[in-house]
Structure 1
Amino acid sequence: MHDDFDRCYRAVQSKDARFDGWFVTAVLTTGIYCRPSCPVRPPLARNVQFHPTAAAAQRLGFRACKRCRPDASPGSPEWNVRGDVVARAMRLIADGTVDRSGVTGLAAHLGYTTRQLERLLQAEVGANPLALARAQRTQTARILIETTDLPFGDVAFAAGFASIRQFNDTVREVCALTPTDLRRRARTRFGREDHATSDVLSLRLPLRTPFAFEGLFGHLAASAVPGVEEVRDGAYRRTLRLAFGSAVVSLTPQPDHVRCRLVVDDFRDLSAAIARCRRLLDLDADPTAVVEALSTDSHLAPLVAKAPGQRIPRTVDEDELAIRVVLGQQVSLKAARTHAHRLAVRYGTPIADAGGALTHTFPTVDQLSEMDPDRLAMPGARRQTLIALVTALAAGEVELDAGVDWNRARAQLLALPGIGPWTAEVVAMRGLGDPDAFPVTDLGVRAAAASVGLPAAAAALTAHSTRWRPWRAYATQHLWTALDHAVNDWPPTENQQEKR
Structure 2
Amino acid sequence: MTSTIHQPAVLEARGEFSLTASARFLEGFTPAARPDAAEESGALRLAFPVERSWEHAGVLIRQRAPGQVEVEIAHGSPETAVRQVRRILSLDVDGAGFSLVAQGDPVVRAASAEYPGLRPVLFHSPYEAAAWTIIGNRIRMTQAARIKQRLAEEHGVAIEVAGKKLASFPAPEQLLAMPRLPGLAEVKMDRLRAVARAARDGLLDAESLRELEAPEALRQLQRLPGIGPFSAELILVRGAGHPDVFPANEQRLHDQMRQSYGVPEASVAELAEIAEGWRPFRSWVALLLRTRREAEPVPEPRNREL
Q: Into which bin does the TM-score normalised by the smaller protein fall?
A: 0.7 to 0.9
Identify which of 385, 388, 397 aligns with 2:194.
388
Q: Secondary structure at the match of 1:248?
A: strand
Alignment size in residue pairs: 283
Q: Structure 1 residue 447 and structure 2 residue 255: aligned?
A: yes
Tell whether 2:59 aligns with 1:252.
Answer: no
| Structure with more relative contact order (C-alpha pairs < 8 Å, separation 6 or more) | 2
C-alpha distance in structure 1 between counterparts of 2:220 and 2:13, whole Å:
33
Which residue, out of 255, 277, 280, partners 2:88? 280
**DSSP 3-state at the match of 1:205:** strand
Residue 312 of structure 1 aligns with an amino acid whose one-letter code is P
Contact in 1 for aligned 2:4/2:74 (Cα 8 Å): no
**C-alpha separation in 2, matches of 1:348 and 1:421:** 28
Counterpart contact for 1:204–1:257, Cα < 8 Å: yes
| Alpha-carbon distance change, 381 to 350 in structure 1, aligned in 2, over 3 angstroms | same
How do 1:172-321 and structure 2 match up within 5 A?
199-222=5-28, 223-225=32-34, 229-242=37-50, 243=53, 246-253=56-63, 255-265=66-76, 269-307=77-115, 309-321=117-129
Partner of 2:178: 371
Check conservation: 1:437, 1:473, Cα contact below 8 A. yes
Deviating more after overlay: 450-459 vs 336-345 = 450-459
Helix, strand or coil for the counterpart of 2:92? coil
For residues 404-451 of structure 1, give each alpha carbon's deviation from its aligned partner in whole angstroms, at most 9, with x where no partner exists: 344443222212333222111111112222112222332431232133
Distance 1:225 1:305 in 2: 25
Q: For the Cα contact (< 8 Å) 2:23–2:39, is it kept in 1?
A: no
Gaps of at least 5 residues in structure 1 are 1-196, 487-500
Q: What TM-score, normalized by structure 1, do the two folds share? A: 0.50
C-alpha deviation, 1:326, in angstroms: 2.9
Q: Are 1:399 and 2:197 counterparts?
A: no
Q: State the match for 1:325 in structure 2.
A: 133
Please say which structure displays the higher CA radius of gyration. Answer: 1
Conserved in 2, the CA contact under 8 Å of 1:279 and 1:315?
A: no
Give distance in 2, aligned partners of 1:271 and 1:207. Answer: 18
The aligned runs of 1:401-420 (5 Å cut-off) are 401-404=206-209, 405-406=211-212, 407=214, 408-420=216-228
Q: Any unmatched runs of 5+ in structure 2?
A: 297-306
SS of 1:239 mapped into structure 2: strand
Q: CA deviation at 1:356?
A: 0.8
> Which TM-score applies when normalising by structure 2?
0.77
After TM superposition, the structure 1 = structure 2 runs for residues 56-67 of structure 1, keeping only pairs within 5 Å, are none
1:432 aligned onto 2:240: yes
Percent of matched pairs sharing the same residue: 26
Partners of 2:291 and 2:66 lie apart in 1 by 18
Describe the shift of the 1:257–1:336 C-alpha distance in structure 2 as closer, same or farther (beyond 3 A). farther
Task: Give the conservation status (yes or no) of the 8 Å contact 1:280–1:314.
Answer: yes
Aligned to 1:346: 154
Q: Aligned-pair RMSD on alpha carbons?
A: 3.1
> Which residue does the alignment assign to 1:461?
271
